Amino acid sequence: MLSYEDAKVKLDSAGQSHVLRFWPELSAEERDVFLGELSQLEPAELLRHCRSAAEAARRTPGDGDRLCARMEPVEPEFIGGVKRSDASSLQDWEEEGFSQIAQNKVAVLLLAGGQGTRLGVPYPKGMYDVGLPSGKTLYRLQAERIRKVQNLASEKCGSKCTVPWYIMTSEFTLEPTEKFFKENSYFDLDPSNVVMFEQRMIPAVDFDGKIILEKKNKIAMAPDGNGGLYRALVDNKVLEDMERRGVQYLHVYCVDNILVKLADPLFIGFCVKKGADCGAKVVEKAYPSEPVGVVCRVDGVYHVMEYSELDPEITKQRHPGGELVYNAGNICNHFFTRDFLLEVALNYQDQLKQHVAIKKVPFVDEEGNCVKPTKPNGIKMEKFVFDVFQFSKKFVAFEVLREDEFSPLKNADGAPVDTPTTVRRSLLAQHYRWAVQAKAVFLDEHDNPITSEYRQAQDGEPPAVCEISPLVSYFGEGLEKLLGHRNLKSPFLLND
Protein backbone atom coordinates (compact mmCIF):
# COMPACT_ATOMS: atom_id res chain seq x y z
CA MET A 1 0.00 0.00 0.00
CA LEU A 2 1.18 3.52 -0.83
CA SER A 3 2.27 5.59 2.20
CA TYR A 4 1.06 9.13 2.88
CA GLU A 5 4.58 10.42 2.18
CA ASP A 6 4.75 8.66 -1.20
CA ALA A 7 1.31 9.94 -2.13
CA LYS A 8 2.36 13.46 -1.21
CA VAL A 9 5.53 13.31 -3.35
CA LYS A 10 3.52 11.90 -6.24
CA LEU A 11 0.87 14.61 -6.05
CA ASP A 12 3.35 17.44 -5.44
CA SER A 13 5.31 16.44 -8.54
CA ALA A 14 2.13 16.63 -10.61
CA GLY A 15 1.16 20.01 -9.11
CA GLN A 16 -1.79 18.44 -7.27
CA SER A 17 -0.92 18.92 -3.57
CA HIS A 18 -4.43 20.23 -2.83
CA VAL A 19 -5.79 16.69 -3.16
CA LEU A 20 -4.55 15.89 0.35
CA ARG A 21 -5.92 19.00 2.00
CA PHE A 22 -8.50 17.13 4.11
CA TRP A 23 -6.03 14.44 5.21
CA PRO A 24 -5.90 15.51 8.89
CA GLU A 25 -9.69 15.14 9.14
CA LEU A 26 -9.88 11.60 7.72
CA SER A 27 -10.36 8.47 9.81
CA ALA A 28 -7.86 5.61 9.49
CA GLU A 29 -10.29 3.71 7.31
CA GLU A 30 -10.97 6.70 5.02
CA ARG A 31 -7.23 7.22 4.66
CA ASP A 32 -6.73 3.62 3.57
CA VAL A 33 -9.44 3.88 0.94
CA PHE A 34 -7.94 7.12 -0.34
CA LEU A 35 -4.38 5.76 -0.52
CA GLY A 36 -5.73 2.75 -2.39
CA GLU A 37 -7.20 5.08 -5.02
CA LEU A 38 -4.13 7.30 -5.21
CA SER A 39 -1.83 4.33 -5.67
CA GLN A 40 -3.37 3.81 -9.09
CA LEU A 41 -2.25 7.18 -10.41
CA GLU A 42 1.04 7.36 -12.23
CA PRO A 43 2.73 10.76 -11.56
CA ALA A 44 4.09 11.55 -15.04
CA GLU A 45 0.87 10.50 -16.70
CA LEU A 46 -1.13 12.47 -14.17
CA LEU A 47 0.85 15.61 -14.86
CA ARG A 48 0.43 15.17 -18.61
CA HIS A 49 -3.27 14.53 -18.23
CA CYS A 50 -3.95 17.58 -16.03
CA ARG A 51 -1.93 19.90 -18.27
CA SER A 52 -3.43 18.71 -21.49
CA ALA A 53 -6.96 18.89 -20.07
CA ALA A 54 -6.49 22.52 -19.11
CA GLU A 55 -4.88 23.35 -22.47
CA ALA A 56 -7.51 21.48 -24.45
CA ALA A 57 -10.29 23.27 -22.58
CA ARG A 58 -8.84 26.62 -23.63
CA ARG A 59 -8.46 25.48 -27.21
CA THR A 60 -11.62 23.45 -27.89
CA PRO A 61 -13.97 25.70 -29.86
CA GLY A 62 -11.33 26.74 -32.37
CA ASP A 63 -10.08 23.20 -32.80
CA GLY A 64 -13.50 21.88 -33.74
CA ASP A 65 -13.96 24.74 -36.21
CA ARG A 66 -10.64 24.01 -37.86
CA LEU A 67 -11.56 20.38 -38.43
CA CYS A 68 -15.02 21.34 -39.69
CA ALA A 69 -13.41 23.61 -42.26
CA ARG A 70 -11.51 20.62 -43.67
CA MET A 71 -14.48 18.24 -43.78
CA GLU A 72 -15.85 16.72 -46.96
CA PRO A 73 -18.77 14.31 -47.29
CA VAL A 74 -18.01 10.70 -48.23
CA GLU A 75 -18.73 9.96 -51.87
CA PRO A 76 -22.15 8.22 -52.11
CA GLU A 77 -20.70 5.47 -54.33
CA PHE A 78 -18.22 4.66 -51.57
CA ILE A 79 -20.99 3.57 -49.21
CA GLY A 80 -22.37 0.06 -49.55
CA GLY A 81 -25.73 -0.73 -48.10
CA VAL A 82 -29.05 -2.40 -47.83
CA LYS A 83 -30.81 0.02 -50.22
CA ARG A 84 -27.78 0.71 -52.36
CA SER A 85 -26.74 -2.80 -53.34
CA ASP A 86 -28.40 -5.49 -55.49
CA ALA A 87 -30.03 -8.58 -54.00
CA SER A 88 -27.38 -11.01 -55.15
CA SER A 89 -24.53 -8.98 -53.59
CA LEU A 90 -26.47 -8.75 -50.35
CA GLN A 91 -26.99 -12.51 -50.35
CA ASP A 92 -23.36 -13.10 -51.14
CA TRP A 93 -22.19 -10.93 -48.25
CA GLU A 94 -24.61 -12.51 -45.83
CA GLU A 95 -23.43 -15.99 -46.75
CA GLU A 96 -19.85 -14.89 -46.30
CA GLY A 97 -20.69 -13.54 -42.84
CA PHE A 98 -22.42 -16.75 -41.79
CA SER A 99 -19.50 -18.77 -43.05
CA GLN A 100 -17.03 -16.70 -40.98
CA ILE A 101 -19.26 -17.04 -37.91
CA ALA A 102 -19.53 -20.79 -38.44
CA GLN A 103 -15.73 -20.98 -38.48
CA ASN A 104 -15.60 -19.31 -35.03
CA LYS A 105 -13.82 -16.31 -36.50
CA VAL A 106 -16.30 -13.66 -35.35
CA ALA A 107 -16.81 -12.10 -31.91
CA VAL A 108 -18.87 -9.21 -30.63
CA LEU A 109 -17.62 -6.51 -28.29
CA LEU A 110 -19.98 -4.40 -26.26
CA LEU A 111 -19.06 -0.91 -25.08
CA ALA A 112 -20.81 -0.72 -21.73
CA GLY A 113 -18.68 1.50 -19.51
CA GLY A 114 -20.86 4.61 -19.67
CA GLN A 115 -22.76 6.04 -16.74
CA GLY A 116 -26.02 6.66 -18.58
CA THR A 117 -26.21 10.18 -17.16
CA ARG A 118 -28.83 11.33 -19.65
CA LEU A 119 -31.05 8.32 -18.96
CA GLY A 120 -30.67 9.03 -15.26
CA VAL A 121 -30.53 5.50 -13.84
CA PRO A 122 -28.00 4.46 -11.19
CA TYR A 123 -27.31 1.09 -12.84
CA PRO A 124 -25.83 0.02 -16.20
CA LYS A 125 -28.00 0.84 -19.20
CA GLY A 126 -27.94 -2.77 -20.39
CA MET A 127 -29.98 -3.74 -17.33
CA TYR A 128 -32.78 -1.41 -18.39
CA ASP A 129 -36.22 -2.92 -18.96
CA VAL A 130 -37.91 -0.75 -21.58
CA GLY A 131 -41.36 -2.15 -20.86
CA LEU A 132 -41.70 -4.84 -23.52
CA PRO A 133 -44.44 -7.42 -22.88
CA SER A 134 -41.68 -9.97 -22.14
CA GLY A 135 -39.93 -7.62 -19.70
CA LYS A 136 -36.61 -8.35 -21.45
CA THR A 137 -33.71 -6.04 -20.72
CA LEU A 138 -31.25 -4.76 -23.33
CA TYR A 139 -28.64 -7.27 -22.13
CA ARG A 140 -31.09 -10.15 -22.49
CA LEU A 141 -32.14 -9.12 -26.01
CA GLN A 142 -28.47 -8.97 -27.01
CA ALA A 143 -27.63 -12.33 -25.45
CA GLU A 144 -30.55 -13.99 -27.23
CA ARG A 145 -29.51 -12.53 -30.57
CA ILE A 146 -26.04 -13.97 -30.05
CA ARG A 147 -27.54 -17.39 -29.33
CA LYS A 148 -29.73 -17.17 -32.41
CA VAL A 149 -27.02 -16.03 -34.81
CA GLN A 150 -24.80 -18.88 -33.57
CA ASN A 151 -27.61 -21.35 -34.26
CA LEU A 152 -28.35 -19.92 -37.69
CA ALA A 153 -24.68 -20.08 -38.70
CA SER A 154 -24.39 -23.63 -37.35
CA GLU A 155 -27.49 -24.76 -39.26
CA LYS A 156 -26.47 -23.08 -42.50
CA CYS A 157 -22.88 -24.30 -42.47
CA GLY A 158 -23.29 -27.58 -40.62
CA SER A 159 -20.77 -26.91 -37.86
CA LYS A 160 -21.40 -25.91 -34.27
CA CYS A 161 -19.96 -22.51 -33.48
CA THR A 162 -19.52 -19.84 -30.84
CA VAL A 163 -19.62 -16.06 -31.00
CA PRO A 164 -17.69 -14.89 -27.92
CA TRP A 165 -19.09 -11.82 -26.21
CA TYR A 166 -16.52 -9.33 -24.93
CA ILE A 167 -17.96 -6.69 -22.64
CA MET A 168 -16.04 -3.56 -21.78
CA THR A 169 -17.26 -2.17 -18.48
CA SER A 170 -15.96 0.52 -16.16
CA GLU A 171 -15.64 0.97 -12.42
CA PHE A 172 -19.31 2.02 -12.49
CA THR A 173 -20.64 -0.91 -14.44
CA LEU A 174 -18.44 -3.96 -13.88
CA GLU A 175 -19.81 -5.17 -10.56
CA PRO A 176 -23.52 -4.70 -11.27
CA THR A 177 -23.12 -6.15 -14.77
CA GLU A 178 -21.35 -9.25 -13.46
CA LYS A 179 -23.96 -9.69 -10.76
CA PHE A 180 -26.80 -9.28 -13.24
CA PHE A 181 -25.33 -11.84 -15.62
CA LYS A 182 -24.86 -14.32 -12.78
CA GLU A 183 -28.40 -13.80 -11.48
CA ASN A 184 -29.68 -14.43 -15.00
CA SER A 185 -27.49 -17.52 -15.55
CA TYR A 186 -25.67 -15.67 -18.33
CA PHE A 187 -28.91 -15.78 -20.33
CA ASP A 188 -28.05 -19.41 -21.11
CA LEU A 189 -24.78 -18.55 -22.78
CA ASP A 190 -21.70 -20.45 -21.69
CA PRO A 191 -20.04 -18.10 -19.12
CA SER A 192 -16.62 -19.01 -20.51
CA ASN A 193 -17.64 -17.26 -23.73
CA VAL A 194 -18.62 -14.04 -21.96
CA VAL A 195 -15.49 -12.03 -21.19
CA MET A 196 -15.90 -8.89 -19.09
CA PHE A 197 -13.09 -6.42 -18.63
CA GLU A 198 -12.72 -2.93 -17.31
CA GLN A 199 -11.65 0.28 -18.99
CA ARG A 200 -9.55 2.81 -17.11
CA MET A 201 -10.82 5.76 -15.15
CA ILE A 202 -9.16 9.16 -15.24
CA PRO A 203 -9.51 12.17 -12.93
CA ALA A 204 -11.83 15.06 -13.75
CA VAL A 205 -10.05 18.40 -13.43
CA ASP A 206 -11.10 22.04 -13.10
CA PHE A 207 -10.36 24.70 -15.69
CA ASP A 208 -6.91 25.29 -14.16
CA GLY A 209 -5.96 21.66 -14.53
CA LYS A 210 -6.46 20.84 -10.83
CA ILE A 211 -7.96 17.49 -9.90
CA ILE A 212 -11.49 17.79 -8.50
CA LEU A 213 -12.21 16.13 -5.16
CA GLU A 214 -15.62 14.54 -5.08
CA LYS A 215 -15.36 13.71 -1.38
CA LYS A 216 -12.72 14.54 1.19
CA ASN A 217 -11.08 11.21 0.40
CA LYS A 218 -12.19 10.62 -3.17
CA ILE A 219 -11.07 12.02 -6.50
CA ALA A 220 -13.79 12.67 -9.10
CA MET A 221 -13.02 10.00 -11.68
CA ALA A 222 -14.63 9.28 -15.05
CA PRO A 223 -14.18 6.48 -17.61
CA ASP A 224 -11.74 7.42 -20.38
CA GLY A 225 -14.41 7.33 -23.12
CA ASN A 226 -15.29 4.46 -25.44
CA GLY A 227 -11.90 4.97 -27.14
CA GLY A 228 -10.45 3.71 -23.86
CA LEU A 229 -11.16 0.37 -25.54
CA TYR A 230 -7.72 0.15 -27.12
CA ARG A 231 -5.89 0.61 -23.86
CA ALA A 232 -8.24 -1.75 -22.09
CA LEU A 233 -7.65 -4.44 -24.75
CA VAL A 234 -3.96 -4.29 -23.87
CA ASP A 235 -4.38 -3.95 -20.08
CA ASN A 236 -6.64 -6.99 -19.99
CA LYS A 237 -4.93 -9.13 -22.65
CA VAL A 238 -8.13 -9.34 -24.65
CA LEU A 239 -6.38 -9.58 -28.02
CA GLU A 240 -4.50 -12.63 -26.75
CA ASP A 241 -7.80 -14.17 -25.70
CA MET A 242 -9.14 -13.55 -29.21
CA GLU A 243 -6.07 -15.14 -30.73
CA ARG A 244 -6.47 -18.23 -28.56
CA ARG A 245 -10.03 -18.60 -29.77
CA GLY A 246 -9.12 -17.96 -33.41
CA VAL A 247 -11.23 -14.78 -33.61
CA GLN A 248 -10.30 -12.63 -36.58
CA TYR A 249 -13.21 -10.24 -36.93
CA LEU A 250 -14.91 -8.13 -34.35
CA HIS A 251 -18.27 -6.39 -34.31
CA VAL A 252 -18.06 -3.54 -31.78
CA TYR A 253 -21.28 -1.83 -30.69
CA CYS A 254 -22.64 0.36 -27.93
CA VAL A 255 -25.13 -0.87 -25.40
CA ASP A 256 -28.09 1.41 -26.00
CA ASN A 257 -29.37 0.52 -29.47
CA ILE A 258 -32.33 -1.79 -28.97
CA LEU A 259 -32.29 -2.90 -32.63
CA VAL A 260 -28.60 -3.85 -32.76
CA LYS A 261 -27.88 -6.88 -35.00
CA LEU A 262 -25.21 -8.70 -33.04
CA ALA A 263 -22.46 -10.12 -35.26
CA ASP A 264 -24.57 -9.05 -38.25
CA PRO A 265 -23.59 -11.59 -40.95
CA LEU A 266 -24.41 -9.11 -43.72
CA PHE A 267 -22.17 -6.36 -42.33
CA ILE A 268 -19.39 -8.79 -41.41
CA GLY A 269 -19.56 -10.44 -44.84
CA PHE A 270 -19.55 -7.05 -46.60
CA CYS A 271 -16.45 -5.92 -44.69
CA VAL A 272 -14.63 -9.23 -45.18
CA LYS A 273 -15.39 -9.38 -48.91
CA LYS A 274 -14.20 -5.81 -49.37
CA GLY A 275 -10.93 -6.68 -47.60
CA ALA A 276 -11.60 -3.99 -44.97
CA ASP A 277 -9.65 -3.69 -41.73
CA CYS A 278 -12.14 -1.24 -40.32
CA GLY A 279 -15.77 -0.41 -41.04
CA ALA A 280 -18.76 1.57 -39.80
CA LYS A 281 -22.49 1.16 -40.15
CA VAL A 282 -24.34 4.35 -40.92
CA VAL A 283 -27.94 5.50 -41.27
CA GLU A 284 -29.33 8.54 -43.06
CA LYS A 285 -29.48 11.32 -40.53
CA ALA A 286 -33.02 12.11 -39.42
CA TYR A 287 -32.59 15.88 -38.99
CA PRO A 288 -29.63 18.29 -39.01
CA SER A 289 -29.14 18.56 -35.25
CA GLU A 290 -29.60 14.85 -34.54
CA PRO A 291 -26.99 13.91 -31.89
CA VAL A 292 -25.09 11.41 -34.00
CA GLY A 293 -21.54 11.58 -35.31
CA VAL A 294 -21.07 11.99 -39.06
CA VAL A 295 -18.87 9.74 -41.18
CA CYS A 296 -16.94 12.04 -43.49
CA ARG A 297 -13.40 12.77 -44.66
CA VAL A 298 -10.98 15.26 -43.17
CA ASP A 299 -7.95 16.01 -45.33
CA GLY A 300 -9.00 13.06 -47.46
CA VAL A 301 -8.91 10.58 -44.56
CA TYR A 302 -12.04 8.80 -43.26
CA HIS A 303 -13.16 10.22 -40.00
CA VAL A 304 -16.17 10.61 -37.72
CA MET A 305 -16.96 14.15 -36.65
CA GLU A 306 -18.80 13.85 -33.36
CA TYR A 307 -22.07 15.76 -33.01
CA SER A 308 -20.76 17.68 -30.02
CA GLU A 309 -17.91 19.08 -32.13
CA LEU A 310 -19.81 19.82 -35.33
CA ASP A 311 -20.55 23.35 -36.45
CA PRO A 312 -24.39 23.55 -36.51
CA GLU A 313 -24.27 25.52 -39.78
CA ILE A 314 -22.46 22.67 -41.50
CA THR A 315 -25.01 20.13 -40.32
CA LYS A 316 -27.73 22.17 -42.06
CA GLN A 317 -26.11 22.15 -45.52
CA ARG A 318 -28.24 20.45 -48.16
CA HIS A 319 -27.79 19.29 -51.76
CA PRO A 320 -30.05 20.95 -54.33
CA GLY A 321 -32.34 17.88 -54.09
CA GLY A 322 -32.87 18.57 -50.37
CA GLU A 323 -30.72 15.78 -48.96
CA LEU A 324 -28.33 16.68 -46.16
CA VAL A 325 -24.74 16.99 -47.37
CA TYR A 326 -23.45 15.31 -44.19
CA ASN A 327 -25.95 12.52 -44.10
CA ALA A 328 -23.98 9.45 -43.00
CA GLY A 329 -24.98 9.14 -39.33
CA ASN A 330 -22.69 6.99 -37.18
CA ILE A 331 -24.64 4.40 -35.18
CA CYS A 332 -21.65 3.15 -33.20
CA ASN A 333 -21.51 -0.25 -34.91
CA HIS A 334 -17.99 -0.92 -36.06
CA PHE A 335 -16.07 -3.69 -37.72
CA PHE A 336 -12.40 -4.34 -36.96
CA THR A 337 -10.02 -7.09 -37.83
CA ARG A 338 -7.96 -8.38 -34.91
CA ASP A 339 -4.81 -7.55 -36.87
CA PHE A 340 -5.90 -3.93 -37.12
CA LEU A 341 -6.63 -3.77 -33.39
CA LEU A 342 -3.22 -5.24 -32.69
CA GLU A 343 -1.58 -2.57 -34.81
CA VAL A 344 -3.54 0.15 -33.03
CA ALA A 345 -2.64 -1.31 -29.65
CA LEU A 346 1.06 -1.48 -30.53
CA ASN A 347 1.57 1.69 -32.49
CA TYR A 348 -1.23 4.20 -32.26
CA GLN A 349 -3.23 4.11 -29.06
CA ASP A 350 -1.18 6.88 -27.47
CA GLN A 351 -1.90 9.10 -30.43
CA LEU A 352 -5.66 9.00 -30.01
CA LYS A 353 -7.10 12.44 -29.65
CA GLN A 354 -8.35 13.55 -26.24
CA HIS A 355 -11.78 15.10 -26.55
CA VAL A 356 -12.87 17.56 -23.98
CA ALA A 357 -16.24 17.46 -22.29
CA ILE A 358 -17.08 20.39 -20.06
CA LYS A 359 -19.33 19.01 -17.31
CA LYS A 360 -20.92 19.73 -13.97
CA VAL A 361 -18.76 17.70 -11.61
CA PRO A 362 -19.89 17.38 -7.96
CA PHE A 363 -17.11 18.52 -5.61
CA VAL A 364 -16.23 19.30 -1.98
CA ASP A 365 -15.80 22.99 -1.20
CA GLU A 366 -13.13 24.48 1.07
CA GLU A 367 -15.24 23.68 4.13
CA GLY A 368 -15.60 20.07 3.07
CA ASN A 369 -19.28 20.30 2.03
CA CYS A 370 -20.39 18.27 -0.99
CA VAL A 371 -21.66 20.64 -3.68
CA LYS A 372 -23.67 19.86 -6.81
CA PRO A 373 -22.67 22.63 -9.19
CA THR A 374 -25.35 24.44 -11.17
CA LYS A 375 -23.01 25.33 -14.01
CA PRO A 376 -20.13 23.45 -15.60
CA ASN A 377 -17.01 23.50 -13.45
CA GLY A 378 -14.90 20.64 -14.71
CA ILE A 379 -13.30 18.88 -17.63
CA LYS A 380 -13.61 15.21 -18.43
CA MET A 381 -11.30 13.93 -21.12
CA GLU A 382 -12.56 11.20 -23.39
CA LYS A 383 -11.21 9.17 -26.26
CA PHE A 384 -13.58 8.12 -29.04
CA VAL A 385 -13.70 4.58 -30.39
CA PHE A 386 -13.88 5.75 -34.02
CA ASP A 387 -10.75 7.91 -33.86
CA VAL A 388 -8.73 4.93 -35.05
CA PHE A 389 -10.35 5.09 -38.51
CA GLN A 390 -7.54 7.40 -39.64
CA PHE A 391 -5.07 4.50 -39.22
CA SER A 392 -7.07 2.15 -41.41
CA LYS A 393 -5.62 0.96 -44.71
CA LYS A 394 -9.04 -0.02 -46.02
CA PHE A 395 -12.06 1.59 -44.41
CA VAL A 396 -15.62 0.86 -45.54
CA ALA A 397 -19.04 2.25 -44.64
CA PHE A 398 -22.29 0.33 -44.86
CA GLU A 399 -25.66 2.02 -44.78
CA VAL A 400 -28.60 0.33 -43.09
CA LEU A 401 -32.23 1.26 -42.61
CA ARG A 402 -32.91 3.22 -39.47
CA GLU A 403 -36.26 1.57 -38.77
CA ASP A 404 -34.57 -1.84 -38.85
CA GLU A 405 -31.32 -1.15 -37.06
CA PHE A 406 -31.14 2.06 -35.07
CA SER A 407 -33.15 3.16 -32.10
CA PRO A 408 -30.95 4.18 -29.18
CA LEU A 409 -31.92 4.60 -25.54
CA LYS A 410 -30.32 7.87 -24.47
CA ASN A 411 -32.87 9.91 -22.49
CA ALA A 412 -35.45 9.42 -19.77
CA ASP A 413 -39.13 9.41 -20.71
CA GLY A 414 -40.42 12.90 -21.25
CA ALA A 415 -37.67 13.82 -23.71
CA PRO A 416 -38.84 14.02 -27.33
CA VAL A 417 -36.51 11.32 -28.72
CA ASP A 418 -34.49 8.23 -27.82
CA THR A 419 -36.44 7.33 -24.67
CA PRO A 420 -37.69 4.02 -23.23
CA THR A 421 -41.00 4.71 -24.99
CA THR A 422 -39.49 5.40 -28.41
CA VAL A 423 -37.15 2.39 -28.34
CA ARG A 424 -39.92 0.05 -27.19
CA ARG A 425 -42.06 1.33 -30.05
CA SER A 426 -39.28 0.82 -32.59
CA LEU A 427 -38.84 -2.80 -31.57
CA LEU A 428 -42.57 -3.55 -31.48
CA ALA A 429 -43.10 -1.80 -34.82
CA GLN A 430 -40.33 -3.89 -36.37
CA HIS A 431 -41.82 -7.12 -35.02
CA TYR A 432 -45.26 -6.09 -36.21
CA ARG A 433 -43.82 -5.51 -39.71
CA TRP A 434 -42.12 -8.93 -39.63
CA ALA A 435 -45.36 -10.63 -38.63
CA VAL A 436 -47.35 -8.86 -41.35
CA GLN A 437 -44.68 -9.75 -43.92
CA ALA A 438 -45.04 -13.35 -42.79
CA LYS A 439 -48.77 -12.98 -43.61
CA ALA A 440 -50.08 -12.94 -40.06
CA VAL A 441 -53.45 -11.23 -39.64
CA PHE A 442 -53.94 -9.03 -36.61
CA LEU A 443 -57.45 -8.60 -35.27
CA ASP A 444 -58.75 -5.48 -33.59
CA GLU A 445 -60.84 -5.49 -30.40
CA HIS A 446 -63.95 -6.44 -32.42
CA ASP A 447 -62.14 -9.34 -34.06
CA ASN A 448 -61.99 -7.51 -37.39
CA PRO A 449 -58.74 -7.71 -39.35
CA ILE A 450 -56.69 -4.58 -39.02
CA THR A 451 -56.78 -2.87 -42.42
CA SER A 452 -53.73 -2.48 -44.57
CA GLU A 453 -54.06 1.30 -44.41
CA TYR A 454 -53.86 1.12 -40.65
CA ARG A 455 -50.93 -1.26 -40.87
CA GLN A 456 -48.83 1.20 -42.75
CA ALA A 457 -48.86 3.75 -39.94
CA GLN A 458 -45.18 4.44 -39.31
CA ASP A 459 -45.22 6.86 -36.41
CA GLY A 460 -46.42 6.22 -32.94
CA GLU A 461 -47.50 2.89 -31.53
CA PRO A 462 -47.89 0.05 -34.03
CA PRO A 463 -51.54 -0.94 -34.56
CA ALA A 464 -51.05 -4.15 -32.59
CA VAL A 465 -48.55 -5.18 -29.95
CA CYS A 466 -46.38 -8.03 -31.25
CA GLU A 467 -43.12 -9.16 -29.72
CA ILE A 468 -41.05 -11.94 -31.21
CA SER A 469 -38.30 -13.57 -29.19
CA PRO A 470 -34.84 -13.23 -30.79
CA LEU A 471 -34.54 -16.96 -30.12
CA VAL A 472 -37.29 -17.48 -32.69
CA SER A 473 -36.18 -14.97 -35.29
CA TYR A 474 -32.94 -12.98 -35.58
CA PHE A 475 -34.06 -10.56 -38.26
CA GLY A 476 -37.54 -11.56 -39.40
CA GLU A 477 -36.57 -14.91 -40.95
CA GLY A 478 -38.47 -18.15 -40.46
CA LEU A 479 -41.77 -16.60 -39.39
CA GLU A 480 -44.03 -17.62 -42.25
CA LYS A 481 -44.37 -21.20 -41.06
CA LEU A 482 -45.14 -20.01 -37.54
CA LEU A 483 -47.41 -17.04 -38.23
CA GLY A 484 -48.55 -17.23 -41.87
CA HIS A 485 -52.35 -16.78 -42.17
CA ARG A 486 -52.82 -17.00 -38.41
CA ASN A 487 -55.24 -14.62 -36.72
CA LEU A 488 -53.43 -12.86 -33.90
CA LYS A 489 -54.82 -10.78 -31.06
CA SER A 490 -52.85 -7.99 -29.49
CA PRO A 491 -50.75 -8.24 -27.35
CA PHE A 492 -49.09 -11.18 -29.07
CA LEU A 493 -45.87 -12.65 -27.74
CA LEU A 494 -44.00 -15.27 -29.76
CA ASN A 495 -41.63 -17.22 -27.55
CA ASP A 496 -39.31 -20.08 -28.40
Contact residues: ligand GN1, CB under 6 A: 226, 254, 292-293, 304, 306, 330-332, 384-386, 408, 410
Residue 61: CB minimum distance to ligand GN1, A: 19
Which CB, 212 or 385, lies closer to ligand GN1?
385
By DSSP bridging, strand 278-284 and strand 395-399 are parallel
Which CB, 104 or 330, lies closer to ligand GN1?
330
Residue 114: CB minimum distance to ligand GN1, A: 7
Straight-line distance from the first to the last Cα atom of the chain, in angstroms, rounded to the nearest whole number: 52
Q: Which has the closest alpha carbon to 270: 81, 406, 28?
A: 81
Residue 168: CB minimum distance to ligand GN1, A: 12
Which CB, 105 or 410, lies closer to ligand GN1?
410
Which CB, 127 or 254, lies closer to ligand GN1?
254
Q: What are phi and psi of 485, to 5 degrees?
A: 60, 20
Q: Which residues of 135-145 are buried (b: 16+ CB within 10 A; e: fewer)?
A: ebbbbbbbbbb
Which CB, 130 or 254, lies closer to ligand GN1?
254
Q: Which has the closest alpha carbon to 348: 336, 332, 356?
A: 336
Q: Are 432 and 464 in contact (CB under 8 A)?
A: yes
Residue 305: CB minimum distance to ligand GN1, A: 9
Residue 250: CB minimum distance to ligand GN1, A: 15
Residue 307: CB minimum distance to ligand GN1, A: 6
Tell me the DSSP string of 79-134.
EEETTTS-HHHHHHHHHHHHHHHHTT-EEEEEE-----TTTT-SS-GGG-B---TT
Residue 357: CB minimum distance to ligand GN1, A: 10
Which CB, 384 or 474, lies closer to ligand GN1?
384
Q: How far apart (Å, rounded) are the C-alpha atoms in residues 278 and 425?
A: 32
Q: Are 340 and 94 in contact (CB under 8 A)?
A: no
Which residue has the CB atom at the shortest distance from ligand GN1?
293
Which CB, 93 or 253, lies closer to ligand GN1?
253
Q: Which has the closest alpha carbon to 238: 277, 276, 201, 196?
A: 196
Residue 277: CB minimum distance to ligand GN1, A: 19
Helices 138-157 and 87-102 meet at what angle, rounded to 10? 90
Residue 83: CB minimum distance to ligand GN1, A: 20
Q: Which has the closest alpha carbon to 137: 146, 150, 124?
A: 124
Phi-psi region of 278 (alpha: psi -120 to 50; beta: other; left: phi over 0): beta
By DSSP bridging, strand 301-305 and strand 71-73 are unpaired
Which CB, 330 or 422, lies closer to ligand GN1?
330
Which CB, 97 or 408, lies closer to ligand GN1?
408
Helices (H), 238-359: 238-245, 265-273, 312-315, 338-343
Which CB, 80 or 228, lies closer to ligand GN1?
228
By DSSP bridging, strand 294-298 and strand 71-73 are antiparallel
Q: How far apart (Å, rounded) are the C-alpha atoms in residues 180 and 201?
A: 22
Residue 352: CB minimum distance to ligand GN1, A: 11
Beta strands, E only, 216-327:
218-219, 221-223, 249-254, 278-284, 294-298, 301-305
Which CB, 386 or 391, lies closer to ligand GN1?
386
Q: How far apart (Å, rounded) are the C-alpha atoms in residues 165 and 213?
A: 36
Residue 27: CB minimum distance to ligand GN1, A: 39
Handedness of CA 239, 240, 242, 248 (dihedral sign): positive
